[in-house]
Amino acid sequence: PQFNLINSFVIPPFEGRGFMVRKGQTFRVIEEEGVQIGDLIIWNAIDPKEYFSATRTWTLEGWVIKVFTRLWSELPWLRPMATCIADTVVSQDAAFYHHWIGTHCATEWTEMRVGLPGLNSCHINFLQAIEPFGLKEEDIHDNLNLFQKMTLEPESGKIMATRSDSKKDDHIEFYAEMDLMAAVTVCPNGDNARYYSVPGKDIVYPLRIEVYDTGIQPKEFPSWTDWRPRWHWVAPPMSYH
Protein backbone atom coordinates (compact mmCIF):
# COMPACT_ATOMS: atom_id res chain seq x y z
CA PRO A 1 0.00 0.00 0.00
CA GLN A 2 1.03 3.62 -0.51
CA PHE A 3 1.75 5.28 2.84
CA ASN A 4 1.74 9.05 3.36
CA LEU A 5 4.91 10.56 4.88
CA ILE A 6 3.95 13.00 7.64
CA ASN A 7 7.22 13.50 9.57
CA SER A 8 10.90 13.15 8.75
CA PHE A 9 13.97 14.25 10.67
CA VAL A 10 17.60 13.33 11.25
CA ILE A 11 19.13 12.49 14.63
CA PRO A 12 22.73 13.75 14.70
CA PRO A 13 25.62 11.59 15.98
CA PHE A 14 25.86 11.22 19.77
CA GLU A 15 22.26 12.43 20.28
CA GLY A 16 18.74 11.11 20.83
CA ARG A 17 15.25 12.25 19.84
CA GLY A 18 11.73 11.46 20.98
CA PHE A 19 8.63 11.51 18.76
CA MET A 20 4.98 10.50 18.68
CA VAL A 21 3.43 7.82 16.49
CA ARG A 22 -0.34 7.54 16.33
CA LYS A 23 -2.19 4.24 16.34
CA GLY A 24 -2.22 2.89 12.78
CA GLN A 25 0.87 4.84 11.70
CA THR A 26 4.32 3.40 11.03
CA PHE A 27 7.81 4.67 11.79
CA ARG A 28 11.08 3.84 10.08
CA VAL A 29 14.60 3.99 11.48
CA ILE A 30 16.92 4.55 8.51
CA GLU A 31 20.68 4.31 8.00
CA GLU A 32 21.13 7.90 6.79
CA GLU A 33 24.79 7.76 5.67
CA GLY A 34 26.13 4.30 6.49
CA VAL A 35 26.22 1.50 9.02
CA GLN A 36 25.14 2.81 12.42
CA ILE A 37 23.64 1.19 15.51
CA GLY A 38 20.47 2.73 16.92
CA ASP A 39 18.64 2.08 20.18
CA LEU A 40 14.85 2.30 20.51
CA ILE A 41 12.39 2.45 23.43
CA ILE A 42 8.60 2.74 23.11
CA TRP A 43 5.90 3.71 25.62
CA ASN A 44 2.13 3.99 25.53
CA ALA A 45 1.73 7.68 24.65
CA ILE A 46 -1.44 7.99 26.73
CA ASP A 47 -0.07 6.17 29.77
CA PRO A 48 3.76 5.92 29.77
CA LYS A 49 3.62 3.52 32.72
CA GLU A 50 2.99 0.93 30.00
CA TYR A 51 6.25 0.29 28.22
CA PHE A 52 8.03 -2.24 25.99
CA SER A 53 9.24 -5.35 27.84
CA ALA A 54 12.19 -7.25 26.38
CA THR A 55 11.65 -10.26 28.64
CA ARG A 56 7.94 -10.66 27.78
CA THR A 57 8.69 -10.18 24.09
CA TRP A 58 11.59 -12.62 24.23
CA THR A 59 9.33 -15.26 25.77
CA LEU A 60 6.53 -14.76 23.23
CA GLU A 61 8.45 -13.89 20.06
CA GLY A 62 12.10 -14.96 20.47
CA TRP A 63 15.17 -12.75 20.84
CA VAL A 64 15.44 -11.57 17.23
CA ILE A 65 13.33 -8.85 15.61
CA LYS A 66 12.13 -9.81 12.15
CA VAL A 67 9.13 -9.03 9.95
CA PHE A 68 5.89 -9.74 11.85
CA THR A 69 7.63 -9.76 15.26
CA ARG A 70 5.37 -8.05 17.79
CA LEU A 71 6.71 -5.90 20.61
CA TRP A 72 4.85 -6.60 23.86
CA SER A 73 4.30 -4.45 26.93
CA GLU A 74 4.96 -5.40 30.54
CA LEU A 75 2.36 -6.67 32.99
CA PRO A 76 -0.38 -5.97 33.90
CA TRP A 77 -1.05 -4.90 30.28
CA LEU A 78 0.82 -7.61 28.33
CA ARG A 79 -0.36 -6.65 24.85
CA PRO A 80 1.22 -5.87 21.46
CA MET A 81 2.48 -2.30 21.20
CA ALA A 82 4.00 -2.41 17.71
CA THR A 83 4.69 -4.89 14.92
CA CYS A 84 7.75 -5.01 12.65
CA ILE A 85 6.53 -4.80 9.05
CA ALA A 86 9.78 -4.26 7.11
CA ASP A 87 13.50 -4.92 7.40
CA THR A 88 15.88 -4.33 4.48
CA VAL A 89 19.13 -5.52 6.08
CA VAL A 90 20.44 -8.60 4.27
CA SER A 91 22.18 -11.11 6.54
CA GLN A 92 25.54 -12.37 5.28
CA ASP A 93 25.71 -15.26 7.74
CA ALA A 94 23.91 -16.71 10.75
CA ALA A 95 24.05 -13.45 12.72
CA PHE A 96 21.07 -11.18 13.34
CA TYR A 97 20.81 -7.39 13.26
CA HIS A 98 17.89 -6.29 15.41
CA HIS A 99 17.39 -7.76 18.88
CA TRP A 100 17.05 -7.06 22.60
CA ILE A 101 20.02 -8.98 23.96
CA GLY A 102 21.92 -6.94 26.51
CA THR A 103 20.93 -3.33 26.91
CA HIS A 104 21.86 0.19 25.86
CA CYS A 105 25.30 1.55 26.76
CA ALA A 106 25.66 3.88 29.73
CA THR A 107 28.44 6.28 30.68
CA GLU A 108 28.87 4.64 34.08
CA TRP A 109 29.00 1.20 32.46
CA THR A 110 31.71 2.27 30.02
CA GLU A 111 33.77 3.84 32.79
CA MET A 112 33.50 0.68 34.88
CA ARG A 113 34.71 -1.50 31.99
CA VAL A 114 37.41 0.61 30.34
CA GLY A 115 38.22 3.28 32.93
CA LEU A 116 37.23 6.28 30.78
CA PRO A 117 34.77 8.65 32.51
CA GLY A 118 32.33 11.04 30.90
CA LEU A 119 31.94 9.40 27.49
CA ASN A 120 28.74 9.76 25.49
CA SER A 121 26.25 6.91 25.81
CA CYS A 122 22.79 5.85 24.69
CA HIS A 123 21.57 6.36 28.26
CA ILE A 124 22.51 10.04 28.10
CA ASN A 125 20.96 10.26 24.63
CA PHE A 126 17.73 8.66 25.87
CA LEU A 127 17.55 11.30 28.61
CA GLN A 128 17.89 13.99 25.95
CA ALA A 129 15.13 12.34 23.91
CA ILE A 130 12.51 11.96 26.65
CA GLU A 131 12.92 15.11 28.75
CA PRO A 132 10.84 17.29 26.34
CA PHE A 133 7.98 14.82 26.84
CA GLY A 134 8.04 15.03 30.63
CA LEU A 135 9.64 11.62 31.21
CA LYS A 136 12.55 11.05 33.57
CA GLU A 137 15.44 8.66 34.01
CA GLU A 138 13.29 6.20 35.94
CA ASP A 139 11.09 5.90 32.82
CA ILE A 140 13.95 4.38 30.81
CA HIS A 141 13.35 0.63 30.66
CA ASP A 142 14.13 -2.09 28.11
CA ASN A 143 15.28 -1.12 24.65
CA LEU A 144 15.74 -2.60 21.19
CA ASN A 145 19.17 -2.71 19.56
CA LEU A 146 18.79 -1.90 15.86
CA PHE A 147 21.35 -2.71 13.13
CA GLN A 148 23.58 -4.37 15.73
CA LYS A 149 25.07 -7.59 14.35
CA MET A 150 25.07 -10.18 17.10
CA THR A 151 25.41 -13.92 17.60
CA LEU A 152 24.52 -15.97 20.65
CA GLU A 153 26.58 -18.98 21.70
CA PRO A 154 24.04 -21.51 23.05
CA GLU A 155 26.42 -23.55 25.20
CA SER A 156 28.11 -20.70 27.06
CA GLY A 157 25.37 -18.10 26.75
CA LYS A 158 27.92 -15.55 25.54
CA ILE A 159 26.94 -12.87 23.07
CA MET A 160 29.37 -11.73 20.38
CA ALA A 161 29.15 -8.55 18.34
CA THR A 162 30.86 -7.75 15.03
CA ARG A 163 30.64 -4.97 12.47
CA SER A 164 27.16 -4.73 11.02
CA ASP A 165 26.51 -5.49 7.35
CA SER A 166 23.81 -2.84 7.07
CA LYS A 167 24.36 -0.05 4.57
CA LYS A 168 23.15 3.42 3.65
CA ASP A 169 19.35 3.59 3.23
CA ASP A 170 18.71 0.26 4.99
CA HIS A 171 15.78 0.57 7.37
CA ILE A 172 13.53 -1.23 9.80
CA GLU A 173 9.86 -0.24 10.11
CA PHE A 174 7.26 -0.70 12.84
CA TYR A 175 3.46 -0.42 12.77
CA ALA A 176 1.91 1.19 15.86
CA GLU A 177 -0.78 -0.99 17.47
CA MET A 178 -1.51 1.89 19.89
CA ASP A 179 -0.56 5.54 20.31
CA LEU A 180 3.16 5.46 20.98
CA MET A 181 5.89 7.69 22.24
CA ALA A 182 9.23 6.51 20.86
CA ALA A 183 12.82 7.46 21.58
CA VAL A 184 15.77 6.64 19.31
CA THR A 185 19.44 7.20 20.08
CA VAL A 186 22.48 7.25 17.81
CA CYS A 187 24.78 4.80 19.59
CA PRO A 188 28.40 5.90 20.13
CA ASN A 189 29.44 2.34 19.25
CA GLY A 190 28.92 3.37 15.65
CA ASP A 191 29.19 0.34 13.37
CA ASN A 192 29.52 -2.11 16.29
CA ALA A 193 33.25 -2.69 15.58
CA ARG A 194 34.35 -0.86 18.74
CA TYR A 195 33.15 -0.63 22.31
CA TYR A 196 32.84 3.16 22.46
CA SER A 197 33.54 6.29 20.41
CA VAL A 198 35.02 9.67 21.24
CA PRO A 199 33.29 12.70 19.66
CA GLY A 200 35.61 14.41 17.18
CA LYS A 201 37.76 11.31 16.82
CA ASP A 202 35.62 8.34 15.79
CA ILE A 203 33.06 8.18 12.97
CA VAL A 204 29.44 7.95 14.08
CA TYR A 205 26.70 8.39 11.48
CA PRO A 206 23.26 10.01 11.92
CA LEU A 207 19.95 8.14 11.74
CA ARG A 208 16.80 9.29 9.98
CA ILE A 209 13.29 8.84 11.35
CA GLU A 210 10.24 8.81 9.10
CA VAL A 211 6.62 8.54 10.27
CA TYR A 212 3.87 7.48 7.87
CA ASP A 213 0.08 7.53 7.83
CA THR A 214 -1.19 4.17 6.59
CA GLY A 215 -4.95 4.65 6.64
CA ILE A 216 -5.10 1.19 8.21
CA GLN A 217 -6.34 0.81 11.77
CA PRO A 218 -5.17 -2.19 13.79
CA LYS A 219 -7.58 -4.96 14.63
CA GLU A 220 -9.12 -4.58 18.04
CA PHE A 221 -7.94 -7.17 20.51
CA PRO A 222 -10.29 -8.46 23.20
CA SER A 223 -10.55 -6.18 26.21
CA TRP A 224 -7.21 -6.21 28.00
CA THR A 225 -8.03 -5.96 31.67
CA ASP A 226 -6.30 -6.70 34.94
CA TRP A 227 -6.65 -10.47 34.92
CA ARG A 228 -5.25 -11.02 38.40
CA PRO A 229 -7.65 -12.63 40.92
CA ARG A 230 -9.46 -10.27 43.27
CA TRP A 231 -8.30 -11.64 46.57
CA HIS A 232 -6.36 -10.29 49.51
CA TRP A 233 -3.58 -12.38 51.02
CA VAL A 234 -3.36 -12.46 54.81
CA ALA A 235 -0.24 -13.80 56.50
CA PRO A 236 -0.89 -16.82 58.72
CA PRO A 237 -0.15 -16.45 62.44
CA MET A 238 3.41 -17.27 63.43
CA SER A 239 4.03 -20.42 65.43
CA TYR A 240 6.80 -20.54 68.00
CA HIS A 241 6.45 -24.20 68.99
pLDDT of residue 241 exceeding 50, the answer is no
pLDDT of residue 69 exceeding 70, the answer is yes
Q: How far apart are the first and last CA of the chain?
A: 73
pLDDT of residue 87 exceeding 70, the answer is yes
pLDDT at 223: 54
pLDDT of residue 129 exceeding 70, the answer is yes
Of residues 91 and 86, the one with the higher pLDDT is 86
Instruction: Tell me what the mean pLDDT of segment 105-115 comes to.
Output: 79
Query: What mean pLDDT value characterizes the chain?
Result: 86
Give CA–CA dist 21/236, Å, rounded.
49
pLDDT of residue 96 exceeding 90, the answer is no
pLDDT at 140: 96
pLDDT at 94: 60
Residue 108 belongs to what H/E stretch? helix 107-114
pLDDT of residue 202 exceeding 90, the answer is no
Give CA–CA dist 229/188, Å, rounded.
46
Residues 6 or more apart in contact with residue 6 via CB below 8 angstroms: 25, 211, 212, 213
Condensed to tens digits (0 to 9), the pLDDT of residues 6-29 reads 999 999 999 999 999 999 999 999
pLDDT of residue 240 exceeding 90, the answer is no
pLDDT of residue 72 exceeding 90, the answer is yes
Per-residue pLDDT band for 174 (boundaries 50, 70, 90) equals very high
Of residues 114 and 240, the one with the higher pLDDT is 114
Q: What is the pTM of this model?
A: 0.87
Q: How large is the greatest C-alpha to C-alpha distance in the chain, in angstroms?
A: 75
239: left (phi over 0), alpha (psi -120 to 50) or beta: beta
CB atoms inside a 10 Å sphere around CB 230 = 5
pLDDT of residue 173 exceeding 80, the answer is yes
* DSSP-based three-state secondary structure for 42: strand
pLDDT at 85: 95
pLDDT of residue 4 exceeding 90, the answer is yes
pLDDT at 224: 52
pLDDT at 148: 87
